[in-house]
């Protein structure tokens, strides 16, 4: 997919993350904190924990989408400022709101702690700076999700990619790109993208469901690779309608071609003739198709009804 271009591109928030010294501290921190919380990270080149904390802190601030700002201060070059603020160890992080320090911590902390720290600041400030108009990443993600739901997979994928240009580690956007790639028939690319996602970092329940659907769809595509030629399998089924194995493989072949309706009909054909064939394989395969498409997809709604009708007739 090509990067998104043209109208509607998001402008990066150049004031969200910046470096400061004792001369700019008044404007970049004290004055700026009148409108939104400002987090100040005191660091040094020789400090190992500083190098661990800084990228995680930058990612957490970007994820907040403008609700807070981050200012980085080199402690070695600003010792007078550190003395004034009683910074005695590195890294030290202080949060300012309304011109005053209101919270802080020392040392490298896990991402979950950073998220909680920022969420508390946003809550304390009443969400200052974090409204819809000042949260372009969140707004863009919501719009991209809407495009996916509407079946506009190319446009959604391009918008997710655009988001990645401004927030390289955005898990939501990565998952969106993987899903869009899958819908556009680029299964190999979808698998590679999903493999790059730290699934342990996925906490949102809806994102977890999307990951599960993508993984199921990739597994289904792998199953279909060895199904055989659809035309030959159709001939076998026509010759012997009781050949459930041929009908099952035919369903896999249809599945690999993206002909999900035909795959579902073939599986239902087995269930109608012999429900328990091969340890209920046809029904289980149909449920996998439902999972891959999602519960609200028209395919799932239609064939879940069909399956219920067959099972309870």
Supply the pTM of this predicted model: 0.51
Q: What pLDDT is attached to residue 174?
A: 92
Are 135-208 and 225-311 the same fold in CATH?
yes
Reported CATH class of domain 225-311: mainly alpha
Known catalytic residues? 47, 50
Q: What is the pLDDT along the chain (313 residues), one digit of tens a residue?
A: 443 333 333 444 456 899 999 999 999 999 998 888 999 999 999 999 999 999 999 988 988 888 899 999 999 999 999 999 999 999 999 999 888 888 899 999 988 899 989 988 888 877 644 443 445 677 788 888 988 888 888 989 998 988 888 777 788 999 999 999 988 888 889 999 988 888 777 778 888 889 988 988 898 888 888 788 999 999 999 999 999 999 999 999 998 888 899 999 999 999 999 999 999 999 999 999 998 888 888 899 999 999 999 888 7
Domain boundaries, the chain: 17-129, 135-208, 225-311
pLDDT score for 265: 96
Please, is 48 exposed, middle or buried when counting C-beta atoms within 10 Å of its C-beta (0-12, 13-18, 19+)? exposed
What's the DSSP call for residue 257? T
17-129 maps to which CATH number? Answer: 3.40.30.10
CATH fourth-level superfamily of 135-208:
Tetratricopeptide repeat domain (1.25.40.10)
Secondary structure, 3-state, 275-308 = CCHHHHHHHHHHHHHHHHHCCCCHHHHHHHHHHH
């Amino acid at each position: 997919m090509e990067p998104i271009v043209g109208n509607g591109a998001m402008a990066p928030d150049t004031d969200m993350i910046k470096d400061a010294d004792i001369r700019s501290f008044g404007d970049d921190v004290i004055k700026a904190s009148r409108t939104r919380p400002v987090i100040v990270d005191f660091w040094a080149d020789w400090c190992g924990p500083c190098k661990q904390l800084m990228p995680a802190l930058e990612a957490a601030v970007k994820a907040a989408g403008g609700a807070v700002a981050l200012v980085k201060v080199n402690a070695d070059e600003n010792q007078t400022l550190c003395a004034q603020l009683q910074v005695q160890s590195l890294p030290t992080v202080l949060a300012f709101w309304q011109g005053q320090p209101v919270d802080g911590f020392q040392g490298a902390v896990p991402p979950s702690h950073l998220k909680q720290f920022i969420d508390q600041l946003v809550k304390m400030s009443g969400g200052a700076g974090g409204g819809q108009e000042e949260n372009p990443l969140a707004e863009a993600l919501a719009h991209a999700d809407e495009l996916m739901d509407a079946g506009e997979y190319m446009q959604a994928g391009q918008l997710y990619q655009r988001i990645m240009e401004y927030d390289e580690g955005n898990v939501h956007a990565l998952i969106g790109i993987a899903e869009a790639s899958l819908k556009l028939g680029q299964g190999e690319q979808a698998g590679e993208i999903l493999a790059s996602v730290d699934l342990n970092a996925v906490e949102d329940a809806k994102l977890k469901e999307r990951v599960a659907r993508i993984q199921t769809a990739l597994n289904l595509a792998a199953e279909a690779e060895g199904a055989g030629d659809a035309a030959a399998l159709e001939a076998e089924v026509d010759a012997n309608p009781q050949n459930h194995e041929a009908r099952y493989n035919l369903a896999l072949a249809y599945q690999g071609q993206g002909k999900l309706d035909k795959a579902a009909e073939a599986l239902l054909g087995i269930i109608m003739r012999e429900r328990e064939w091969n340890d209920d394989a046809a029904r289980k395969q149909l449920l996998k198709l439902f999972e891959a498409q999602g519960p609200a997809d028209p395919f799932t709604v239609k064939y879940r009804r069909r399956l219920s009708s067959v099972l309870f007739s």
